[in-house]
Structure 1
């Protein structure tokens, strides 16, 4: 693995490149961009998948979203999904500058909210030749409808009213406010997936100092207006594999993406008994890799 930086307009992005065993810089390799979940960083589940895929013969790049982790961008802790789409464009730009990357063999893998950004980017960036998702979430739909897709419009409007007041306050000089991505450990009022997310992000299981569980409150208006899958029915024609747990509250995103995607070569793989967070590490990654590795080998290797 090698730490790298690349530019996204005027923002310096931080990434980790992973190389296959026996890497030879005189060869041309297929490559995969791996996009982390909302609030995550490259050293967490994105790095796990990037390392495993490198072990299957790919050059892989996991990177921190702009405004987050070790990447630049002000204000800090901004989460604007369309900026994350731009991050992916820039990551692909960077890969194409590497002499050992085959520019005709580039794929993308998105995890959780990284999936919505990956689908959006792949729908408009034809350099991405194959797409995979794990525990997919269109963060826009989740912000509007709630984690399980059942939230009333009144909840969304109340949230946006609060954001509107905060934006006005900040314009008058009030300090910026952050809210958590995931609830506190032990908060049983949260959906089960988010309780398990707290166990991942806030305990030694997956905790990282660059992922402090902070989100600018005003990010919520950007997130609510994002539509990750809106072009999938016409523009997402690349080969597509979608992997999700049967017990994930987020499963509706994966089934919606499968139904909507224009790709004639698409597959939905439901991991029986798995929750959303089960696919972030451990045996869940092992299970997902049994589908991801052959998929990417068949489509871009």
Structure 2
């Protein structure tokens, strides 16, 4: 099993360091690409497309963001690998400050940086000669579902949005009031002085540096998250935590879905499952959206099953949604 790397460092990927949780389909090409955000942070991404793709023709394109703390070698790559087989040019990216993307301190995050990740991906993919700039969609998994919607609300180049088992992290963080807000606010505010004095931002690893074979009892998190991120199923050396402690201050204070009703008339598809614990996020968000919109509830499956279970994720639905969106 691949050795865990220092989570406080990032560098461009070398062939010997490549580690994906899935096998690349034999009909698909994957290329490592790099580009910058408007803040000057270098983003590491993987570009997927069919081997028999005719580059003299322009194709619809998708940009795919990961779950909170995830990287492109996990869920985004799973989705890109599948959707590239259906005629899309797909870009799966590491968010700024995460994975092989640049930016210091490592694991820094804010609502704005996560939205910028999507727009920067559109910047890049829209410059490819074989991509139709008028047919670029965004797809967000888990927390990136909320980020994708927020990005579309402020970036008119995103012509359609799909979310998969979405989380709205800023809204969740902003729900606390009174003492429930004051206590962590004081804690994280004091942490800023500690970080300044130490010269680095505090990071708490959520998952072990090597994949585990069992899911422990009495976890401080949902067992399904540990089952994915901490076992061979989904473990990755760049996905051992989420954000620095002080990054939580931004999530407690800024919302990203205030204007999602203005994405209309661009279409939105929200994917969830009958039994996903995150289903209420999709249902609440659906009510905020204007038409055209669709809430698609798949048969029973865990939240994390929509990270990697290609037998459960409704890729045919995603294909139909985006192709119909771009045809209108």
In the alignment, is the contact (CA less than 8 A) between 1:85 and 1:117 conserved in 2?
Answer: yes
Q: Does 1:205 align with 2:233?
A: yes
C-alpha separation in 2, matches of 1:169 and 1:19? 46
C-alpha separation in 1, matches of 2:198 and 2:232? 37
Q: Does 1:169 align with 2:199?
A: no
Q: Let me know the Cα RMSD of the aligned residues.
A: 2.1
| CA distance 1:251–1:157, change in 2 (3 Å) | farther
After TM superposition, the score normalised by the length of structure 1 is 0.90
C-alpha separation in 2, matches of 1:153 and 1:250? 25
Query: Which ranges of structure 2 fall in alignment gaps of 5 or more residues?
Result: 1-29
1:41-60 counterparts in 2 under 5 A? Answer: 41-60=71-90
After TM superposition, the score normalised by the length of structure 2 is 0.83
C-alpha separation in 1, matches of 2:190 and 2:199? 11
Who is 1:104 aligned against?
Answer: 134
Who is 2:24 aligned against?
Answer: none
Of the three residues 37, 43, 47, the one matched with 1:13 is: 43
TM-superposed deviation, 1:143: 2.3
Who is 2:33 aligned against?
Answer: 4
In the alignment, is the contact (CA less than 8 A) between 2:276 and 2:302 conserved in 1?
Answer: yes
In the alignment, is the contact (CA less than 8 A) between 1:8 and 1:90 conserved in 2?
Answer: yes
TM-superposed deviation, 1:53: 0.8
Query: Which ranges of structure 1 fall in alignment gaps of 5 or more residues?
Result: 146-150
TM-superposed deviation, 1:5: 0.5
Who is 2:66 aligned against?
Answer: 36
1:139-178 counterparts in 2 under 5 A? Answer: 139-145=169-175, 154-173=179-198, 175-178=200-203
Who is 1:148 aligned against?
Answer: none
Q: Secondary structure at the match of 1:169?
A: helix
TM-superposed deviation, 1:187: 4.8
How many aligned positions are there?
292
Q: Does 1:257 align with 2:285?
A: yes
In the alignment, is the contact (CA less than 8 A) between 2:206 and 2:240 conserved in 1?
Answer: no
C-alpha separation in 2, matches of 1:12 and 1:175? 20
Q: Secondary structure at the match of 1:104?
A: strand
TM-superposed deviation, 1:122: 0.4
Of the three residues 196, 199, 204, the one matched with 2:224 is: 196
C-alpha separation in 2, matches of 1:190 and 1:238? 39
